[in-house]
Amino acid sequence: MSTVEDLLREAMSREVEDVRGPEGLAAAVRRGSRARRLRARAVGAALVVAAFGGGAAFLLVEPEPAGKNAATSASVVTEVAVPDVVKMPPEQASARLEQAGLKPVLRTDPGEVTSQDPAAGTLVKPGTEIQLYSARKRAQHLGDLGDGRAFGGIRLTYLPDDLRWGRWSVKDTFGVTSYSTTYDEPGHPQGYYGLQVFVFEGKATEDPAKLLEKMDDRVDVGSAEGGIASVHETGSLHDLGVTGELQTPTVVWPLGDLWVQIKMSPDRAAKLGGTDAVKEELLKVARGVERTG
């Protein structure tokens, strides 16, 4: 009659017959408190569940030295599949991760989880930190914008393939009357943007007009002459080739009675890599802007 050890060894050999550990690994795993070792004879059924139940597992089996009460010892080292907690409230997401033996770390403002790292399904060790990114629902002050490309009297006929409307907008925040929204890479946390577009009319057009006067690099935007530069958050202007986390590549130009300004985030500029690529993308978006009213 087969013993529990025989059945267990036979089952595991079919699953891990190609897995080999370095010499002495099993002995090293067994060292430590004898109370923490799993006895196949006592917990054979539970061990099978641990080996084949929720995640990858590696079974190390080694006979103890012959003698009284000699038995087979087995140790199980498991990995956990990261649960999918995107779209959950932070409290629910944290509880779900803790239940799986993982450590949630909330990186941004409270709100529905919008992305996680590592991604769902990734195999990690118990206790691994899972970064959670969330965002409050941002203001939408311009009504239903549909696909987000038409607002403030303009329409963007071109956007890079990897950008989507950020699903928010503001009015009169950058002067009366002004409008703005962003186009972002999906999955990025709150505060990130790829491109931000501004439209100014009336008295608000004074600021972009003054900005253009300061720009040395003039460009043909199609409908009019514009300017392009790297704008520091202090307001100082630099050549587009000057980069850094506080340097924002910017193009600005008049469009009939409106003025339009497009900013590229420093993160996106760094990702594109190189002045020519940054300039090309900004101008391609700018030249695709049309007046709608």
Contacting residues for 254 by C-beta, under 8 A, at least 6 apart: 205, 209, 212, 224, 226, 260
Q: Do domains 81-134 and 150-291 have the same CATH topology?
A: no
Of residues 106 and 209, more confidence is placed in 209
Query: 175-198 as b/e, with b when 16 or more CB fall inside 10 Å?
Result: bebbbbbbbbbeebbbebbbbbbb
Helix, strand or coil for residue 104? strand
Q: What's the CA gap between 39 and 47, in Å, rounded?
A: 9
Mean pLDDT (the chain) is: 76
142 backbone dihedrals φ, ψ, rounded to 5°: -110, 15
Q: Is 205 left (phi over 0), alpha (psi -120 to 50) or beta?
A: alpha
- What is the band of 168 on the pLDDT scale with cuts at 50, 70, 90? confident
Fold of 81-134: Trypsin Inhibitor V; Chain A (3.30.10)
In the predicted structure, residue 140 carries a pLDDT above the cut 90: no
In the predicted structure, residue 60 carries a pLDDT above the cut 90: no
What are the sequence ranges of the domains in the chain?
4-78, 81-134, 150-291
Average of pLDDT values for 207-214? 94
Q: Give the per-residue pLDDT at 45.
A: 37
150-291 has which CATH code?
3.40.1000
In the predicted structure, residue 122 carries a pLDDT above the cut 70: yes
- Among 33-37, 78-82, 194-198, which is the least confidently predicted range? 33-37
- What is the band of 290 on the pLDDT scale with cuts at 50, 70, 90? very high
Give the residue carrying structure tokens 């008295």: 203
Q: Give the per-residue pLDDT at 7.
A: 52
Average of pLDDT values for 42-66? 41
Of residues 41 and 141, more confidence is placed in 141
Contacting residues for 125 by C-beta, under 8 A, at least 6 apart: 79, 80
Average of pLDDT values for 166-171? 87
Residue whose C-alpha is closest to residue 208's, from 261, 169, 255, 275: 261
- What is the band of 274 on the pLDDT scale with cuts at 50, 70, 90? confident
- What is the band of 142 on the pLDDT scale with cuts at 50, 70, 90? confident
Average of pLDDT values for 221-250? 83
Query: 254-290 as b/e, with b when 16 or more CB fall inside 10 Å?
Result: bbeebbbbbbbbbebbeebeebeebbebbbebbbebe
Average of pLDDT values for 98-115? 79
In the predicted structure, residue 182 carries a pLDDT above the cut 70: yes
Helix, strand or coil for residue 106? strand
Q: Report the half-sphere exposure of 224 (CA within 13 A, side-chain side).
A: 18
Residue whose C-alpha is closest to residue 80's, from 44, 113, 129: 129
Percent of the chain residues topping a pLDDT of 70: 66
Helix, strand or coil for residue 13? helix
Helix, strand or coil for residue 222? coil
- What is the band of 134 on the pLDDT scale with cuts at 50, 70, 90? low
- What is the band of 211 on the pLDDT scale with cuts at 50, 70, 90? very high
